[in-house]
Structure 1
Amino acid sequence: MSMAPLTARRPWLRPGPLWLAAPALAFVAVFLLLPMLRLIGLSLQEADTAAFTLGHYEKLAETPVYLRILGITFRIAALTAFFSVLLGYPVASWLAALPDSKRSKWLFLVLLPFWTSYLVKTFAWMIMLGDKGLINSILTGTGMAESPFRLMYNEFGVIIGMVHAMMPLAILTMVPVMVNIDSRLSLAAGSMGARRAQRFWLIEFPLAMPGVAAAGLLTFITSLGFFIVPAYLGGRGQTMLAQIIIVQVQELVNWAFAAVLSVMLVLAALVAIWFYDRLFGLSSLTSASTSSGKSHNPWLRRLGQKVLEGLAWLSAPFDRIGRGGSDRQPFKFAYVLILFLFLLAPAMIVLPLAFTSDQALTFPPPGYSTRWFAQYFNSPIWISATIRSFGVAFATAILATVLGGMAALALARSDSRFGKAIFALMLAPMIVPRIVIAVGLFYLMAQIGLVASNIGLILGHTLLAIPFTFIAIGAVLKGYDWRLNQAAATLGAGRLTVLRLITLPLLQGGIISAALFAFVTSFDELTIALFISGGLKSTLPKQMWDDMYLQLNPTLAAVSVVVLGIVTLLLILAQKLQKS
């Protein structure tokens, strides 16, 4: 049988744009879906006989301590999402109202803490919140407090650290939706007699609701897998599920129960996504249109309308506060500045401490010295970890950009009914809690002999970086003029020629920017490295994690400044490339 009749009868066999996504889909299937399925299988098997059992889940249900930790995890994640959205909403609203040129400059100050390593941020908060830290030193030194407040090793410290880590994500999620809100709607309502509270709750807030809900969803799901912040800023009462999973794998080697806990985290994320889909539709996660914010359920829509009307009525007495634009703007701008100071506080604290002349971390430093940087650069352990991080990040950037870019190009050129499913799979590594991905990969890598190898680290980091490259290149492709390709094709240029001489040069800035984001994702990544490195192939974040467990010292501050400097330079370069 000839090939021509076969492809004529089965058009899906013809090479088309959608096939470009095949490598990325295969990668996600092998290194995400397969490990997830294996974890589910482990949670349903007897440890010795591999027979089917629900005993591990029964153990979870019958052990009060695990149920209590499950409740703590959900409570802290919910509080983190709530405060991240609540405190970040005014900042997102203010950024959305700025001209494009000014907005991009201020967004850089949001991106910097967003991409800064969780270890660096947590290290800085430990310095600020400790009994002899910056905040308590100011309070006791000025006489505002007789003794230090307990700001660490409790839920307050964990919430502070997690809200600081998640608020940039909430702001970055809300801004694109708010930018597309037509401000003339609120002005028209005001000209018809609507008070400021009514305009906000009944017009502005419902239009921004898809962004608000998406921000809450993403921050909640991400917070479920946190372990760095509660490990250093919390106490026993703030132990989260991810910490127990690490103990089950690395100390108790209880894979079955670790799989059960991982399945619980994934189920919690899926339930949150299901609720979001019922209320708003998953398409609103990526849509810039605010029209997608309408609930699919008329009853819920009517209930939401009544709640907003009640909030407008309760807020009516505050209409007189700051009435008029000239009085209102300074208060809003002052709030925005305070929030930006909160976001940038770790960087501002770590920088002077890296140059301290003292052996201890005291603020302000009694003197200044560069000896801690010299200790870092003269340490074979630190330099080896840094070189390994650079090498792994460079390879990750190339692989993730190729896979994510091809998938983005496939969806941009195809209108197939499989597009939504492919889009969801490409974003899956960003939705599944990272600790679950790490456990699943560790189990897979152990079986194929890639634990404690650079290849294992590259594969794991690439999985995490693919969503960022996919989104970044997909955003650039939205503004691409495909008529240029058609014109070249009419002149006799083949597909590869068009790709090499037209498409790639025009998308060069976006591609390099996506590669830089992938580089930063890998360079700052700890969770995968904590499992895959196997204690031998240590990366810079892994080495920082090990040292922080031993003792806080100025060398860690110097390393943190090095990491901050690298991330800042890469973000500046990425921003310039995006503008070009």
Structure 2
Amino acid sequence: MTIALQAQPPRDAARARRFHWVAHSMRLLPIVPALLFLLLFFIVPVGEILQGGLFSADGTFGLAQFERIARTPVYAKVLWITFSISFLTAAISVLLGYPVAYLLSRLSPRSRERWLLWIMLPFWTSYLVKTYAWMLLLSKTGVLSTVALALGLVSRTNGTIPSLTGVLIGMVHAMLPLAVMTMLPVMRGIDDRLAQAAETLGAERGTSFFTVFLPLSSPGVAAAGLLVFISSLGFFIVPALLGSPKETMIAQLVISSVLELFDMRFAGALSTVLLVCSIVIFLVYDRLVGLSSLTGEVRDKRRGSRAHGVKLALLIAAGRLTAPLVKRRMTGAAPAERGFGPLRLYTFAVLAVLVAPVLSVIPYAFTRSDFIAFPPKLFSFKWFGTFLQSPVWQSALIRSFEVGLGTAVLSLALGLGATLALTRMSQRASKPLFALLVAPLIVPRIVIAVGLLYLFARFGLTGTNAGLVIGHTVLAIPYVVVTLAAGFRQFDWRLDDAARVMGASPVRRIATIVLPLLMASVTAAFLFAFIVSFDDLTIAIFVSGGINTTLPKQMWDDIQLAVTPTLAAVSTTLVVLIALVVFISSRLRRTTR
């Protein structure tokens, strides 16, 4: 009996360990479909690119494709141009967006939400619509040239496009909202009382900003610069429509290799170069800043070092130089009332520049003329009729809605399960999984598109709605996970625990407690996924196939032939759609609060 009693505890301990392992596995189960999906349609296609670039045109294994790139000076020049334009876009976007993010972070939640509405509108507006707007504004017969000529500011004008200036204007306009939205969460987490404490100890306002706020906000600045730079590497719409051959970027060469030269292996080699460069950038970024800064965490290994001391001395000197420019001090005033007059004026000007080009397209949709001219001859709805009655445009519109809805449903199902599992994991386990889920947001889209083309060509998914839904879901999952994660952080899990104690099954708890309380976040994630799909052109170029294409692809085909009022009608329709999505999302967030 004694031996039996002594042997019992180990069996109980083993049973407890097995029960704990099963319970832990059940918590991980919801994330498995999303991980398998990304493994099959994200990691494998990227691997396909690496493999495809290692074969020559005749199927021989080797480095012939990369030797071709290295031997041809034009490819090195294009790569240099790509990095130069991407770096300038990131630098200008961060510099222009920092004051905007700073102001928004200091405002009350209600005021900040009103400003964010105007940032979200150009943020979610199609790249094609924004580029089309700049074509109307910057061309030789565009609005700016015509107004300048009429006012006598210039005697003659050649327009701003095609040129490097036009490319930078278009790319900064597209990326500036992303920079602001990336820096804002980090700035909101900085405690106001730290700057007040520095001023109480005698620091000038400029000194307290440069020595307290700026260092604490540097992770957001670094993260914004990284995301804008990586996103810009895969750009092709803006340089193709606003630039000259001197501003050709590597994504344009990839598209040309596939659609014009039908050389998929060389396109794979070019995509591999772009992917490897992105990885090198990430490694350097991690070495200098730390990838943890993408989540707003600060890692300063050089604290106390000589470099850190020099940096601090420069910041203090900058604060002292700017102190005479600051007349008002922050002594007891509310955050929204601390002398932000000039900053509000600057932010208003930036938002006006962001929104005005998008809205400038609308009058051209109602012109009576058969061509684009400024000022437009109003008022007619015939171009909306041309758009809605054309079989080609009808087919593209219907297909975009079908693929968009399919993408939203699939990405929401995968993202909801993944986010639900992440919230139940330890921070150590959730970080790498979260990084994998948002990885498609960081890898250039052109790389994902070429990889999916490799994969879909073998399985007959090219030219099908299923292929488009899969490709768009890869792009949409990061947005869904990030949106739902913000909602789950505010969720009171004690309600779920109470239902579990009462005997409710996991499915019933999700249906009756989790989803109703998180309906605002779920709806917002659904809408964002739909917009990501509805707006995508990169995947559509490679996967849609045939005459029956999507709305952005049809716009891309038409805009390269001529700038017509029909395109203005299509762009206006898209702007109205985006405005509705932003408005609904804002109302849902307000209702939740």
Q: Which residue of 2 aligns with 1:397?
A: 408
Task: Confirm or deny that 1:258 pairs with 2:283.
Answer: no
Shift of 1:543: 0.6
Residue identity in the other structure for 2:384 = F
- Post-superposition CA distance 1:133-189 (Å, at most 9, x none): 111112111111111154111110000000000000000001111111122222222
Q: Which residue of 2 aligns with 1:19?
A: 29
Q: Which residue of 2 aligns with 1:479?
A: 490
**Structure 2 residues without counterparts, runs of 5 or longer:** 1-12, 330-336
Q: Which residue of 2 aligns with 1:428?
A: 439
Cα distance in 2 between the residues matched to 1:71 and 1:45: 25
Cα distance in 2 between the residues matched to 1:311 and 1:491: 58
In structure 1, the residue corresponding to 2:491 is in which secondary structure?
coil
Q: Which residue of 2 aligns with 1:383?
A: 394
Shift of 1:83: 0.3
**Contact residue 469 and residue 515 of structure 1 kept, 8 A:** yes
Shift of 1:489: 1.7
Moved more, 316-325 or 366-375: 316-325
Cα–Cα, structure 1 residues 74 and 304, in superposed 2: closer, same or farther, change >3 Å?
A: farther
Q: Which residue of 2 aligns with 1:74?
A: 83
Cα distance in 1 between the residues matched to 2:17 and 2:198: 58
**Structure 1 residues without counterparts, runs of 5 or longer:** none
Q: Which residue of 1 aligns with 2:300?
A: 295
In structure 1, the residue corresponding to 2:136 is in which secondary structure?
helix
Shift of 1:241: 0.4
In structure 2, the residue corresponding to 1:452 is in which secondary structure?
coil
**Contact residue 142 and residue 159 of structure 2 kept, 8 A:** no
Q: Which residue of 2 aligns with 1:232?
A: 241
Cα distance in 2 between the residues matched to 1:181 and 1:35: 40
Q: 2:561 aligns with which of 550, 560, 566?
A: 550
Shift of 1:312: 4.5
**Contact residue 53 and residue 265 of structure 2 kept, 8 A:** yes
Q: Which residue of 2 aligns with 1:160?
A: 169
Q: Which residue of 2 aligns with 1:31?
A: 41
**Contact residue 7 and residue 13 of structure 1 kept, 8 A:** no
Task: Confirm or deny that 1:366 pairs with 2:377.
Answer: yes
Bigger Rg, which one: 2
Shift of 1:536: 3.0
Residue identity in the other structure for 1:246 = I
Q: Which residue of 2 aligns with 1:346?
A: 357
**Contact residue 258 and residue 264 of structure 2 kept, 8 A:** yes
TM-score by length of 1: 0.94
Residue identity in the other structure for 2:38 = V
**Contact residue 140 and residue 158 of structure 2 kept, 8 A:** yes
Shift of 1:271: 2.0
Task: Confirm or deny that 1:336 pairs with 2:341.
Answer: no
Between the aligned residues of both structures, percent identity stands at 44
Moved more, 359-368 or 207-216: 359-368
Task: Confirm or deny that 1:57 pairs with 2:62.
Answer: no
Cα distance in 2 between the residues matched to 1:457 and 1:519: 13
**Contact residue 114 and residue 169 of structure 1 kept, 8 A:** yes
Residue identity in the other structure for 1:168 = P
Cα distance in 1 between the residues matched to 2:51 and 2:526: 35
**Contact residue 53 and residue 268 of structure 2 kept, 8 A:** yes
Q: Which residue of 2 aligns with 1:536?
A: 547
- Post-superposition CA distance 1:490-540 (Å, at most 9, x none): 212222221222122211221111101101111111110111011333111
Cα distance in 1 between the residues matched to 2:281 and 2:586: 33
Shift of 1:194: 2.0
Cα distance in 1 between the residues matched to 2:480 and 2:415: 5
**Contact residue 376 and residue 559 of structure 1 kept, 8 A:** yes
Cα–Cα, structure 1 residues 10 and 224, in superposed 2: closer, same or farther, change >3 Å?
A: farther
Cα distance in 2 between the residues matched to 1:497 and 1:356: 55
Alignment of 1:450-489 (within 5 A): 450-489=461-500
Q: Which residue of 1 aligns with 2:420?
A: 409
In structure 2, the residue corresponding to 1:293 is in which secondary structure?
coil
TM-score by length of 2: 0.92
Aligned length: 571
**Contact residue 209 and residue 319 of structure 2 kept, 8 A:** no
Cα–Cα, structure 1 residues 5 and 318, in superposed 2: closer, same or farther, change >3 Å?
A: closer
Q: 2:285 aligns with which of 276, 281, 288?
A: 276
Alignment of 1:493-504 (within 5 A): 493-504=504-515
**Contact residue 50 and residue 268 of structure 2 kept, 8 A:** yes
**Contact residue 392 and residue 458 of structure 1 kept, 8 A:** yes
Moved more, 476-485 or 428-437: 476-485
Cα distance in 2 between the residues matched to 1:317 and 1:116: 40
Q: Which residue of 2 aligns with 1:321?
A: 325
Q: 1:309 aligns with which of 308, 313, 335?
A: 313
Cα distance in 2 between the residues matched to 1:79 and 1:566: 31
**Contact residue 177 and residue 210 of structure 1 kept, 8 A:** yes
Cα–Cα, structure 1 residues 149 and 327, in superposed 2: closer, same or farther, change >3 Å?
A: farther
Shift of 1:11: 6.2
Cα–Cα, structure 1 residues 154 and 315, in superposed 2: closer, same or farther, change >3 Å?
A: farther
Q: Which residue of 2 aligns with 1:176?
A: 185
Task: Confirm or deny that 1:513 pairs with 2:524.
Answer: yes
Alignment of 1:46-125 (within 5 A): 46-51=56-61, 53-125=62-134
Q: Which residue of 2 aligns with 1:138?
A: 147
Moved more, 123-132 or 199-208: 199-208
Residue identity in the other structure for 1:390 = F
In structure 2, the residue corresponding to 1:418 is in which secondary structure?
helix
Cα–Cα, structure 1 residues 10 and 17, in superposed 2: closer, same or farther, change >3 Å?
A: closer
RMSD after superposition: 2.1
Moved more, 256-265 or 188-197: 188-197
**Contact residue 43 and residue 260 of structure 1 kept, 8 A:** yes
**Contact residue 166 and residue 242 of structure 2 kept, 8 A:** yes
